[in-house]
Structure 1
Amino acid sequence: MTILIRGGTVIDADRTYRADVLCADPKDGGTILQIGLDLDVPAGTETVDASGQYVMPGGIDPHTHMELPFMGTTASDDFYTGTAAGLSGGTTSIIDFVIPSPKQPLMEAFHEWRGWAEKASADYGFHVAVTWWDESVHRDMGTLVHDYGVSSFKHFMAYKNAIMADDEVLVNSFARSLELGALPTVHAENGELVFQLQKQLLAKGFTGPEAHPLSRPPEVEGEAANRAIRIAQVLGVPIYIVHVSSKDAVDVITRARSEGQRVFAEVLPGHLVIDESVYSDPDWTRAAAHVMSPPFRTSEHREALWRGLQSGQLHTTATDHCVFCASQKAMGREDFTRIPNGCGGVEDRMSILWHHGVNKGRLTPNEFVRVTSTNAAQIFNLFPRKGAVQVGADADLVVWDPAATRTISVKTHHQKVDFNVFEGMTVQGVATHTLTRGALAWTDGDLRAVRGAGQYLKRPPNGAYFDATRIANQLKEPHPIHRAGDKVVKAA
């Protein structure tokens, strides 16, 4: 059935205007057919009344971990429940992560994750993590880009003795990404420093969640972000830094961008609004529920993140959605390093950004669209299919009531977890309707998500960024480290 969204104000990343939006039936492609006033509407069209509301591109969360096997357990939200929760909050697409075990072939892990994701209720893509290196990884990266539409690769600089990528892996994978036109992404924490600090804290008897932020101070993030950015600079490849949490990291990103380096970065709503004092909660279960990496920080760092988002040094908002129930977090009751790392947010990101961003004058509505949808679509090469209200784009849309309020609570959320880090927060700005490729998946509190309705999103290499980078590289003197064939070598 075609759907007409009538009476609303369209907000895109670059303009705001009054218009109705006609959406095709999912069976007919589920795209936006017409935008304007006095539209020619087919008989039998369902109408959504958007009077007094905004019509915006559906949110894109470029950093989630549904159904992730991690730290001896598996995240409690699977691809169905997690994407359904996202739809209830206005998020219509996610980019999740394939994370191979040490020495596991990339293609084997990719097909495993694709199988799990078939139950998704919203569209999804994948980044693939490079956790080790040999010629098979080099080959599989090419296969993933050319045959499966994976155009970004993840690198964990943390989690020593598990999935941490050392500098050799970073250099080889970044160089291969440049050849393929794929974007390297990085979890920036100095894994060796974290490992040593954890051992020292445990030896001194600090076993609870309060030790978690002490083992991952801002400096370990700043150092790793700087190192990854400098490696990318030497090799001449763009880079994307995930879940920036500290002023230290914002500062090195800003410096690199001011020098003309192509660096992109994301921030999580939790890092914008939650204080590190949560780790000192006398209730161990509540404190442990907030354990994620990087940890939540002080007001100095939160304000730096807001400034980075406002000034355009930080480009996207994601959630790193990776939820574990209290019984799973309890695996680390005697040892904080064994608490499964991860928090939720896929359902609440849009409202939190609107309430604390738009309502407090930090973001305009157009900037809100940019950082919750359009920038992610452009950086990860989904635009204009996603991230825009325009004819021919997927009808992934959210009808947004800026006056409506809701109080976030585990009692009412749709995420499959028994804790919400935003518990009790009242937000003004709510999704009243969410469409995924023309189908109403959320309407006035009624969740209609369909198991398996989500489609896999192929993302071709993003030529625009890489062409610009290559031109810039051709105009400067060659660096003493360069590529010879498929290998990174040091010049004679």
Structure 2
Amino acid sequence: MKLLLKNGTIVTSGKVFKEDILVENGVISKIGKNLSIDSGQAVDLHGQYIMPGGIDVHTHFNLDIGIAVAKDDFYTGTVAAACGGTTTIIDHMGFGPKGCTLHHQLDKYKADAETDAVIDYSFHGVIQHINDEILDEMDSMVEDGITSFKGYMTYDYKLQDKNMKVIMEKLSSLGAMTTVHAEAHDEIQELRKKYIEDGKVEPIYHAKSRPVKAEVEAIERMIKMSKEAGEAPLYIVHLSSGDGLDVIKKARAEGRNIYAETCPQYLFLNEDKYLEDKYRGLKYIMSPPLREKNNNKRLWKGIAEGYIQTVATDHCPFDFKLKKELGSKDFTKCPNGAPGVETRIALMYSEGVTKKRISITKFVDVVSTTPAKLFGLYPKKGEIILGADADFMIIDPKKKMTIEHKNLHENVDYTPYEGIDLVGYPTMTISNGEIIVKNGKFLGKKGRGKFIKRNRF
């Protein structure tokens, strides 16, 4: 099947130009002016942008945390992603049974996604504990295309610093990336205990118990370990604070091998949300928490200056109804996480490009191209060149939209971005040469997505 995209403006991370794109057998076969076809489908995109499909490298589908299961599985979650312009996701697998192998979770998640995912997908390995068997198993995981792994500095399966260093050395030797949830566990636990003992159980104390300094301290420790591990590549997930960014800026100026991701919630929302009445502040319980408003501007600047390389979502959807049931009398009982996989592209375009916080090429870079490069998907994904997968998001820069939960496809009972007015919105999503979303309607089939065996870092 041939597909011809005509009269649109192509935008990559490096340039903006007007040419047509011919797709054959799911890949880009020609790029040029005045292309034509004698069979297949031609689509006139006059006045719209043709960009590489969005890549979200931080989702949590089918996440089971014991007290709750995330509302989006690999079908509803990838449908929502596709409707928002995303054509590839890399999911952070949840914890498995105590003592399980690395492949235990990979096998489970691959089975879930194989039957359900509507766009292409991969996974980050999850490290719950460390021993010789786990270190040896990393070799075969990387051979299987899992070239990034996540370690936690907090939560039940937090890793000790000495083990984190061993992990970084091992992964670096394999050409794999260490990604880290960076928060100082002990300080957080002490503050949580103190607030609960003092009867301070409202949502705002979630933010107060996970202060910026806990993020800063953890990032500093990880950078030090990366250096000691021979400049092992280090990726900080969901950076939330300007002070944390300053640590990363300093490290990169010194030549450290560190990369950073932030998320829309840390660019658009702030800790005032925790003060909403009738427990509505529980909607925004996530870790790291929302910060004071000045951090929004500092993180935007970090994106524009290249110190933050990716914008992902940390899409972790638990119903507000459940958050109220579990957390209304104690913020520590509220499931962590918020939805966002469908709204990421539109928010970043409207608030970033339309409002001139970032250039249109920088937008493409942080939502598609650099995620592909860092996580072994490039150049098949994240780029518009001959031979690349025909994954595109089409954006109408003049289309106006107000975010409303009722119009989204995320399988959760709220959106944290309710009521935000947008200028510029995805109108079409093309995955491997197939139009799977048009004007907000999903046209694809369940299970059409494929597992991507990723390249080494």
TM-score (norm 1): 0.90
Distance (whole Å) between structure 2 residues aligned to residue 186 and residue 244 of structure 1: 10
Within 5 A, what are the aligned runs for 1:177-196?
Answer: 177-196=171-190
- Please give the alpha-carbon distance, in whole angstroms, between the structure 1 residues aligned to 2:119 and 2:334: 30
In structure 1, what residue type is equivalent to 2:3?
Answer: I
Report Cα offsets for 1:234-288 as digits up to 9, x if no partner.
112011001000012101100100001111101101100101111011120x211
Secondary structure of the 2:75 match is helix
SS where residue 205 of structure 1 aligns? coil
Pairing 1:323–2:317 present: yes
Given the alignment, which residue of 77, 81, 89 partners 2:84?
89
* Partner in structure 2 of residue 261 of structure 1: 256
Provide Cα deviations, 1:191-219, integer angstroms capped at 9, x if missing partner: 11111111111000012212110110100
CA contact (8 A) 1:8 1:18 kept: yes
Q: 386, 397, 400: which is aligned to 1:402?
A: 397
CA separation in 2, counterparts of 1:130 and 1:34?
43
Find the counterpart in structure 1 of residue 101 from structure 2. 105
Query: In structure 2, which of residues 267, 273, 294 is the aligned counterpart of residue 300 of structure 1?
Result: 294
Within 5 Å, give how 1:317-396 maps onto structure 2: 317-329=311-323, 330-396=325-391
Please list, as runs of the form range in 1=range in 2, the aligned pairs for 1:410-489 lying within 5 A after superposition.
410-462=405-457
1-structure distance, mates of 2:202, 2:316: 21
Q: What does the per-residue CA deviation read over 1:410-452, in whole Å, with 9 as the maximum and x for residues that have no partner? A: 1110000001000011111111110010111111222113210
Per the alignment, residue 228 of structure 1 pairs with 222
Contact 1:222–1:249 (CA under 8 A) maintained in structure 2: yes
What corresponds to 2:203 in structure 1?
A: 209
Secondary structure in 2 matching 1:103: coil
Q: Tell me if structure 1 keeps the 8 A contact 2:204–2:271.
A: no
Kindly state the Cα deviation for residue 71 of structure 1 after the two structures are TM-superposed: 4.8
Match of 2:118 in 1: 121
Deviation at 1:171, TM superposition (A): 1.4
Matched, 1:131 2:125: no
Q: Which amino acid aligns with 2:396?
A: D
* Correspondence for 1:173: 167
1:279 has 2:274 as partner: yes
Which among 29, 34, 40 is matched to residue 33 of structure 1? 29
Q: 1:8-43 deviations in whole A, cap 9, x for unaligned?
A: 01001111110111122xxx3x11111111224132
Q: Which consecutive aligned stretches of 4+ in structure 1 deviate over 6 angstroms post-superposition? A: none
Aligned to 2:284: 290
**Partner of residue 19, structure 1:** 19
Distance 1:335 1:172 in 2: 37
Given that residues 150 and 458 in structure 1 are in contact (C-alpha distance below 8 angstroms), is that contact kept between their aligned partners in structure 2? yes
- The alignment partner of 2:29 has SS state of strand
Distance 1:129 1:447 in 2: 31
- Secondary structure at 2:37 match in 1: coil
Kindly indicate whether the alpha-carbon contact (under 8 Å) linking 1:99 and 1:130 is maintained by their aligned counterparts in 2: no
Q: CA deviation at 1:398?
A: 1.1
Distance apart, 1:98 and its partner CA: 2.1
Partners of 2:22 and 2:79 in 1: CA distance: 23
Query: Partners in 1 of 2:441 and 2:339 — Cα distance?
Result: 21
Give the conservation status (yes or no) of the 8 Å contact 2:19–2:34: no
1:46 Cα shift? 1.2
Structure 2 distance, partners of 1:411, 1:183, is 38
**Structure 1 residue 2 and structure 2 residue 2: aligned?**
yes
- Contact 2:9/2:19 (CA < 8 Å) preserved in 1? yes
CA distance in 2, matches of 1:206, 1:298: 19
AA of the residue aligned to 1:361: K
Give the paired residue count. Answer: 453
Alignment partners' CA distance in 1, 2:160 and 2:333: 22
Aligned to 1:149: 145
SS in 1 for 2:393: strand
Partner of 1:59: 54
Deviations 1:50-103 (A, max 9, x none): 100110001000100011112511100001111111111111101001233332
Cα pair 2:60 2:94 within 8 Å, conserved: no
1:188 offset after TM fit, Å?
Answer: 0.6
Structure 2 unaligned regions, length at least 5? none
The 10-residue stretch of structure 1 (313-322 or 63-72) with the greater mean CA deviation from structure 2? 63-72
- Confirm or deny: 8 A CA contact 1:257 1:263 kept in the other structure: yes
Counterpart AA for 1:152? S
* Separation of aligned partners in 2, 1:104 and 1:169: 17
Q: Quick check: 296-305 or 224-233, which moved more?
A: 296-305
| Unaligned runs of at least 5 residues, structure 1 | 463-492
Aligned equivalents of 1:363 and 1:328: distance in 2? 37
Query: What is the identity, as a one-letter code, of the residue corresponding to 1:46?
Result: Q
Letter in 2 for 1:125: S
Contact 1:324 1:417 (8 Å CA) reproduced: yes
- Superposition deviation, residue 387 in structure 1: 0.4
Matched, 1:77 2:72: yes
What's the TM-score, normalizing by structure 2?
0.97
Cα distance in 2 for partners of 1:401, 1:130 equals: 41
Compute the displacement of 1:332 (Å). 2.1
Distance in 2 between the 1:281 and 1:100 partners? 32
Q: Matched residue of 1:33: which SS?
A: strand
Structure 2 counterpart of 1:326, one-letter code: F
How far, CA to CA, are the matches of 1:231 and 1:434 in structure 2? 41
Cα distance in 2 between the residues matched to 1:98 and 1:141: 15
Q: Secondary structure at the match of 1:243?
A: coil
Contact between 1:9 and 1:17, CA under 8 Å: does it hold in 2?
yes
Distance 2:227 2:199 in 1: 41
